[in-house]
């Protein structure tokens, strides 16, 4: 075992860690919020909002 | 005119659609590879007893080869003599042109049909 | 945005400035100077690669001009996909969206492969026996960047800005130290490019190198994906994109100059990390380390931008139900299209771990090429349906329709170049798009609302 073998192991471990974070947060987000709310983004809505603010 | 009401797709349908799309995509990319038709590897032309001179390398080139770790001509000869084969048949070229032009023609035709519907509904009477 | 949340709405966050746009565009592409472009040298020799570089430069100038005009009016995530939807029609939009996702995901895979290769090279040079397992490093680079993208766009692109600037500086420093401005340099163009090495395949080789010539710039058009997250898209997008093309033309020419002056073309044409090799040959240890870091940063910046762009395109299609609506979700806290980001991770891994680099690069280039062929059609229809006096454009490109015609011509040349080496893949790829188009037209499109997908506040197009 030299430095590179340890680096390989570290890379596997770090990959798993990042993957784990993403999956845990994904599951938590999906179960906390309503599906309607999560997919409420609409194309062009930001323009509409800004225009509203300018007018108002 | 009546507005088109899109049906809401269920979970299972969504998953199936993604799988279908993935199979098509991965198939298109991997089938040429599996069939060994993903051409374009270079063809080496073996030379017996290569020397730097017979490979057409001048003094500066030889110096750079050595710096790159190729100590003698034999080790570099395969890399130097390998060439791509650019020969092609007119038939294949015509087929390619037909496929590409045909593809864009289909695309524009169907798009136009769908687009008229969109505009009619959006700016419709 | 507080208001947006009150009305139970979540969208992408508008936080980016012009520098981020530049970093997104150049960051994706700069890796092309560190690896991949040199396959053009293998295809036709060093001079052929230089000519291909300049022709590709013209092609991309047209792309940037056309794209800037359209995108300064169509500012939405999805970029060219959204343009196609408003200007050409839904089926074209679906195809363009897929071009984007494939071009970027394949490029991301190519970057990850290069990271693995670089780690292996460094390990071997440091005296490690038996080579390293490249897979954990390939996976780590994709996982780390996916995580970064998941956590928010501002940090992602600020990270990109820093590493892209370092990678670009490395190219410039390599040029300055080797070009012989400060005394005799190590470059030997006259000798390395003499005799058979000048144009080893003749003029056909020049055409053939157009294929990988695109690699010098591929991905710069991805700047438009940020449209929904830029603070002032009409100004920042044209500025960032055009500045990006100029940066790349400079970097590409410098790269060619240094590499062609150091390596015999037969070696250069198949090198995995040409700039790193050039630094090794320069004889300076410091330069070698710097360019090694530059290579790593360039690949990471590119993969990072690719994840960003591919997920925006996938997200935009999901939001319109062109793809299952599940993908149209935005993370309430991080404000990113998180499900699209997650979904594309395994896809990138399949190709990074399973396919050879030049094939992956070719898939990416082909998808890009199909997209560039769409652009002239797009701008011609745009000007016809909405002449200049009907909508105000943030940027109007000059000499219309000349750039469109030039672009179409150059795309034709590039198709021929791809055909010379990778005819089978070309046909397989287009067969895929034809099948998928039929699937969309006859099945998938039923889930899309018709009028509602046209979201731009434009007047009715001429002729409808």
What CATH code is carried by the domain that includes residue C383? 1.20.1740.10
The set of long-range contacts for C400-403, using a CB threshold of 8 Å and a minimum separation of 24, is C401/C376, C403/C61, C403/C62, C403/C65, C403/C66, C403/C376, C403/C379
Q: Which of B7, B96, B117 sits opposite C423 (nearest CB)?
A: B96
Residues C319, A42: C-beta atoms closer than 8 Å: yes
Q: Which of C208, C422, C449 sits opposite B39 (nearest CB)?
A: C422
For residues C104 and C315, what is the distance between their CA atoms, to the nearest angstrom?
14
Residue C143 domain flag: yes
Domain count, chain B: 1
Q: Could you tell me where the DSSP H helices lie in chain B?
A: 11-34, 59-67, 73-81, 90-122
Q: pLDDT value at position A45?
A: 67
Taking the CA of residue A55 and the nearest CA in chain C, the distance in Å comes to 15
**For residue A31, which residues of chain C lie inside 8 Å, CB to CB?**
none
For residues C275 and C61, what is the distance between their CA atoms, to the nearest angstrom?
25
> pLDDT grade, residue B44 (50/70/90)?
confident
Instruction: For residue C415, give its domain range.
Output: 25-453
Q: pLDDT value at position A52?
A: 41
Q: Which helix (H) or strand (E) holds C169?
A: helix C153-178
Tell me whether chains B and C touch (3+ CB pairs under 8 A).
yes
Q: pLDDT value at position C197?
A: 85
**Per-window interface: C 98-157 vs B, CB < 8 A:** 98, 102
Q: Which of C14, C76, C147 sits opposite A18 (nearest CB)?
A: C147
The torsion of the CA quartet C327, C330, C334, C336, rounded to 10 degrees, works out to 60
Using an 8 Å Cβ cutoff, are C77 and C12 in contact?
yes
Q: Is the pLDDT of residue B40 over 60?
A: no
Q: pLDDT value at position B1?
A: 57
Which partners does chain C have (≥3 C-beta pairs < 8 Å)? A, B
Cα–chain center distance at A6: 29
| pTM, two decimal places | 0.92
Residues of A with CB under 8 A from a CB of C: 2-4, 7-9, 11-12, 14-15, 18-19, 21-23, 25-26, 29, 33, 35-47, 49
**Per-window interface: B 19-58 vs C, CB < 8 A:** 20-22, 24-33, 37-40, 42, 56-58
Using an 8 Å Cβ cutoff, are C153 and C227 in contact?
no
Using an 8 Å Cβ cutoff, are C307 and C176 in contact?
no
For residues C170 and C173, what is the distance between their CA atoms, to the nearest angstrom?
5
Counting as low any pLDDT under 50, the low residues of chain C are: 1-7
Tell me whether chains C and A touch (3+ CB pairs under 8 A).
yes
Using an 8 Å Cβ cutoff, are C39 and C218 in contact?
no
Q: pLDDT value at position B38?
A: 59
C35-59 burial by CB neighbour count: b if 16+ within 10 A, else e? bbbbbbbbbbbbbbbbbbbebbbeb
Q: What ipTM was reported for this prediction?
A: 0.89
pLDDT tens string C166-225: 999 999 999 999 887 776 788 889 899 988 888 999 999 999 999 989 989 988 888 888
Query: What are the structure tokens assigned to C290, written together?
Result: 């710097």
Q: Is the pLDDT of residue B32 over 80?
A: no
Residues A25, C329: C-beta atoms closer than 8 Å: no
Choosing among C77, C143, C332, C391, which should be mutated to test the A contact, i.e. which has the most A CBs within 10 A? C143
Partnered with residue B43 across adjacent β-strands are: B83
Phi and psi dihedrals of B43, rounded to 5?
A: -100, 115
Q: pLDDT value at position C1?
A: 37
Q: Is the pLDDT of residue B37 over 70?
A: no
Residues B7, C446: C-beta atoms closer than 8 Å: yes
pLDDT tens string C6-58: 446 788 888 998 889 889 999 999 998 998 899 999 999 999 999 999 999 99
B116 near C CB under 8 A: yes
Instruction: For residue B68, give its domain range.
Output: 41-83
Residue B119 domain flag: no
Q: Nearest Cα to C54, choosing from C235, C217, C267, C290?
A: C217
Tell me whether chains A and B touch (3+ CB pairs under 8 A).
no
Q: State the average pLDDT over residues A37-50.
A: 72
Q: Which of C363, C445, C464 sits opposite B29 (nearest CB)?
A: C363
Question: Following DSSP, what letter does each residue of C229-250 receive, concatenated?
Answer: TBSSHHHHHHHHHHHHHHHHHH
Q: pLDDT value at position C225?
A: 86
Taking the CA of residue B50 and the nearest CA in chain C, the distance in Å comes to 16
Q: Which of C12, C147, C332 sits opposite A22 (nearest CB)?
A: C147
**For residue B27, which residues of chain C lie inside 8 Å, CB to CB?**
432
Residues C428, B28: C-beta atoms closer than 8 Å: yes
Choosing among A46, A48, A56, which should be mutated to test the C contact, i.e. which has the most C CBs within 10 A? A46
**For residue B75, which residues of chain C lie inside 8 Å, CB to CB?**
none
Which partners does chain A have (≥3 C-beta pairs < 8 Å)? C
Closest chain C residue to B100, measured at CA: C430
Using an 8 Å Cβ cutoff, are C394 and C49 in contact?
no
Q: Which of B31, B106, B117 sits opposite C450 (nearest CB)?
A: B117
Residues A33, C150: C-beta atoms closer than 8 Å: no
Taking the CA of residue C274 and the nearest CA in chain A, the distance in Å comes to 24
Residues C139, A15: C-beta atoms closer than 8 Å: yes
pLDDT tens string B45-75: 777 888 898 888 999 999 999 998 898 888 8
Domain count, chain C: 1
C18-34 vs C274-282: helix crossing angle, rounded to 10: 70
Q: pLDDT value at position C327?
A: 95
Q: pLDDT value at position C11?
A: 87
Query: Worst-scoring range by mean pLDDT, A6-15, B81-90, C403-412?
Result: B81-90
Query: What are the structure tokens assigned to C402, written together?
Result: 């000349």
Residue C15 domain flag: no
């Amino acid at each position: 075992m030299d430095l590179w073998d340890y680096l390989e192991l570290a890379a596997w471990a770090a990959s798993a860690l990042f993957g784990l974070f993403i999956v845990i947060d994904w599951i938590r987000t999906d179960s906390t919020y309503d599906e309607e709310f999560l997919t409420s983004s609409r194309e062009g809505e930001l323009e509409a909002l800004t225009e509203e603010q300018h007018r108002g | 005119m009546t507005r088109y009401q899109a049906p809401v797709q269920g979970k299972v349908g969504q998953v199936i659609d993604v799988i279908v799309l993935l199979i098509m995509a991965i198939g298109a990319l991997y089938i040429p590879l599996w069939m060994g038709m993903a051409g374009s590897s270079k063809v080496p032309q073996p030379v017996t007893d290569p020397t730097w001179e017979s490979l057409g390398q001048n003094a500066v080139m030889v110096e750079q080869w050595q710096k790159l770790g190729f100590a003698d001509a034999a080790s570099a000869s395969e890399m130097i003599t390998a060439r791509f084969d650019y020969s092609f048949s007119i038939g294949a070229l015509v087929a390619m042109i037909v496929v590409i032009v045909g593809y864009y023609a289909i695309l524009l035709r169907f798009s136009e049909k769908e687009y008229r519907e969109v505009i009619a509904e959006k700016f419709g009477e | 945005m507080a208001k947006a949340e009150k009305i139970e709405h979540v969208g992408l966050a508008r936080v980016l400035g012009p520098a981020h746009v530049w970093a997104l565009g150049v960051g994706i592409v700069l890796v092309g100077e560190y690896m991949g472009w040199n396959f053009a040298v293998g295809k036709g020799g060093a001079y052929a690669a230089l000519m291909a570089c300049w022709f590709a430069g013209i092609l991309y100038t047209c792309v940037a001009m056309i794209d800037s005009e359209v995108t300064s009016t169509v500012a939405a995530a999805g970029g060219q996909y959204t343009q196609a939807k408003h200007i050409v029609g839904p089926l074209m939009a679906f195809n363009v969206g897929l071009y984007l996702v494939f071009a970027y995901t394949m490029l991301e895979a190519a970057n990850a492969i290069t990271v693995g290769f670089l780690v292996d090279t460094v390990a071997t040079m440091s005296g490690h026996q038996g080579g390293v397992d490249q897979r954990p490093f390939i996976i780590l680079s994709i996982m780390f960047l996916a995580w970064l993208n998941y956590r928010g766009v501002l940090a992602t692109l600020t990270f990109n800005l820093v590493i892209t600037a370092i990678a670009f500086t490395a190219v410039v420093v390599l040029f300055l130290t080797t070009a012989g401005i400060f005394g005799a340099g190590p470059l030997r163009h006259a000798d390395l490019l003499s005799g058979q090495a000048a144009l080893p395949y003749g003029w056909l080789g020049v055409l053939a190198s157009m294929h990988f010539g695109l690699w010098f710039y591929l991905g710069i058009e991805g700047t438009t994906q940020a449209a929904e997250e830029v603070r002032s898209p009409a100004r920042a997008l044209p500025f960032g994109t055009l500045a990006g093309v100029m940066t790349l033309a400079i970097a590409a020419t410098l790269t060619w100059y240094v590499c062609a002056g150091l390596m015999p073309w037969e070696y250069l044409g198949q090198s995995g990390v040409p700039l790193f090799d050039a630094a090794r040959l320069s004889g300076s240890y410091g330069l070698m380390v710097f360019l090694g870091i530059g290579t790593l940063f360039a690949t990471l910046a590119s993969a990072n931008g690719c994840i960003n762009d591919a997920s925006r395109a996938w997200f935009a299609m999901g939001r319109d139900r062109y793809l299952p609506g599940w993908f149209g979700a935005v993370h309430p806290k991080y404000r990113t299209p998180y499900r699209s980001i997650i979904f594309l991770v395994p896809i990138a891994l399949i190709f990074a771990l399973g396919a050879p680099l030049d094939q992956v690069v070719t898939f990416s280039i082909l998808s890009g090429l199909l997209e560039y062929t769409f652009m002239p059609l797009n701008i011609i229809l745009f000007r016809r349906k909405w002449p200049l006096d009907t909508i105000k454009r943030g940027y109007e490109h000059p000499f219309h329709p000349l750039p469109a015609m030039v672009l179409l011509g150059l795309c034709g040349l590039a198709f021929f170049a791809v055909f010379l080496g990778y005819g089978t893949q070309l046909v397989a790829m287009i067969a895929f798009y034809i099948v998928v188009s039929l699937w969309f037209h006859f099945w998938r499109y039923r889930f899309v609302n018709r009028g509602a997908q046209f979201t731009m506040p434009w007047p009715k197009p001429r002729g409808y």
